[in-house]
Structure 1
Amino acid sequence: MKKKLDKILGSFLVFLLVLMVIAVLWQVFSRYVLNSPSSFTEELARYLFIWIGILGAAYAAGQQTHLAIDILPPKLDPVNRVRLRIGINTLIILFCATVLVVGGGNLVYVNYELGQSSAALNLPLSYVYSIVPVSGLLVIFYKLNEIIHSKNYLV
């Protein structure tokens, strides 16, 4: 299931990046060639950049490519190294559950209730912010998967 999710998430991130590049290229073309800048492309590129950053963080968590300081793990024996990894992943899960899922869910709810929308696209901001709890759930899935398969890390 993880490999399928990796492929879907990676493909979606590439799609978002292509959309962002097209939006920025259209903005540059319309501004300098047509002398009539597009009104929505700057905002669209900004929101796509937010989505790419937040979803990219979840993807990086799933690939275990986040920045890490490896001072302690090499000094530990394999069993304690796995225990440390499980402890770190548990802390990451707790952080994501409280900050991203609960806090992000509240952010989406408040923006939905207030009916706030973006200026140029007239897009409800709750749609834009909905990526925060989704990304939190993805990180939780990846880290739970890592904990479940932690016995494979015994070297």
Structure 2
Amino acid sequence: MINVSWFNNILKGLNKIEKYFNISLVLVLVFATFLQVIFRFVLNSPLTWTEELARLCFVWLCVFGSSMALRQGKHIKFDYLTNKLLRYKLNRIRAIIVNILIISFLIYIFVPSLRYVESMNTIPLAGTSWPTGVFFICFPLASIIIVLNLVKEVITDMYLLFQDRKGSKV
């Protein structure tokens, strides 16, 4: 097999950064929501920026969380029938085809999503005056991580498929 340990090391680093980034998003989300509740209901003086910050953290957490879920195989998928009906090799081929389709779609929408982010940067948010593009830049960023993880998965599946054809036990 081709030595791709450098690729695996890069992915491990990216995935670790993504994990800690998601943890920090949860913490900021909870803190911003807590501040909003305290200032709105206890001090009767609501803050304007906490709601937007919490919403931003929630959107980013959903997008980067879906990247983590996909990588860990925890994403919602309907594979009960394919696991029961297809043999091991056919199921692996199906997984390779599905992953290649997802990679193709994410590559196809990457440049248009960057253009959309750029166009949204002209519109400021009401509470923070940040450009609206900060909400949407997470989609191209997460798609890079998803594509890299899926490429690794496709390479691994193809290697295991060809190893299995040679008579090796998988």
Matching of residue 135 in structure 1 with residue 166 in structure 2? no
Query: TM-score normalized by structure 2?
Result: 0.82
The percentage of aligned residue pairs carrying the same residue is 29
Matches within 5 A, 1:4-153: 4-70=13-79, 71-99=81-109, 101-112=110-121, 115-150=122-157, 151-152=159-160
What's the C-alpha RMSD, in Å, of the aligned pairs? 1.6
Does the CA contact (< 8 Å) of 1:31 and 1:38 recur in 2? yes
> What amino acid maps onto 1:94 in structure 2?
S
5+ residue gaps, structure 2 = 1-8, 165-169
Distance in 2 of aligned mates of 1:56 and 1:135? 9
Secondary structure, aligned partner of 1:72 = helix
CA drift at 1:8: 1.3
Does the CA contact (< 8 Å) of 2:96 and 2:154 recur in 1? yes
Does the CA contact (< 8 Å) of 1:96 and 1:136 recur in 2? yes
Secondary structure, aligned partner of 2:104 = helix
> What amino acid maps onto 1:86 in structure 2?
I
CA drift at 1:73: 3.0
Distance in 2 of aligned mates of 1:43 and 1:63? 30
> What amino acid maps onto 1:117 in structure 2?
P
Residue correspondences, number: 152
Distance in 2 of aligned mates of 1:16 and 1:69? 29
CA drift at 1:128: 2.4
Does the CA contact (< 8 Å) of 2:14 and 2:145 recur in 1? no
Which residue of the partner structure matches residue 6 of structure 2? Answer: none
CA drift at 1:39: 1.1
Cα displacement string for residues 4-41 of structure 1 (whole angstroms, at most 9, x for unaligned residues): 22221111001011001000000000111111111111
Cα displacement string for residues 43-63 of structure 1 (whole angstroms, at most 9, x for unaligned residues): 111111111111111111111
Cα displacement string for residues 106-125 of structure 1 (whole angstroms, at most 9, x for unaligned residues): 2112223xx21111111112
5+ residue gaps, structure 1 = none
Cα displacement string for residues 81-111 of structure 1 (whole angstroms, at most 9, x for unaligned residues): 1111100101111121223x13311211222
